[in-house]
Amino acid sequence: MAAPKEKRSFRYLPYLLIVALLIVAVGLWHHHITDKHWSKKVPTVSRDFMFQVDNFYTKNQGGQTLTMYFHYRYNDGIQTADIPDYRDLRTEAIHYMNTIDTSQNPYWETLTKNVCEDLKNKFPIEAISCQFQVAGDDRAGLPNEPGIHSSITTIGDITPLTFAK
């Protein structure tokens, strides 16, 4: 006697499941391999520059001496003829610091951020990190500020500056 028709259709089910799992596994493996192949990024060339301003005196917070560090990355694809002279950035940073209203004794963090944003907005740079390193101060009549202390602001995809003297 022959088996009912319904049971015959289930006879091939294990084989169909195995074939389906193999197709899925091969698809996933192929996707993984092609993703690895296509996701390899072509190395980009970044052009960075760095400078510092030593022993800068500001009247801020009762008169302080600081070293300002600047590390920036030019816009992607910048042509050599369009690279600004770092002295122009230096002059802009010093001008900014010389024209701030020190009567409010702004925090170093605020000044660092403002100078960093100013340079980024005025020059063809896509990322910048600025550090203001303030010398310790133990003058009479002022709060004691032992040792060097710093403020760092970083805008964009660039490693933050972390210099210490």
**pLDDT tens digits, one per residue of 74-94:** 999 999 999 999 999 999 999
Residue 105 to residues 62, 77, 145, Cα–Cα distance (Å): 8, 40, 15
Q: Indicate whether 33 and 84 sit together in one domain.
A: no
Owner of token pair 């301003």? 53
In single-letter form, the type of residue at position 48 comes to D
Q: Are residues 32 and 54 in the same domain?
A: no
Average pLDDT, rounded, for the chain: 83
Q: Does the reported pTM lie above 0.85?
A: no
Neighbour-count burial for 100-119, b at 16+ CB within 10 Å, e otherwise: bebeeeeebeebbbbbbebb
User: Would the pLDDT of 15 be above 80?
Assistant: no
Domains in the chain, number:
2
Domain of residue 75 covers 48-155
In this structure, what CATH number is given to the domain that contains residue 121?
3.30.1130.10
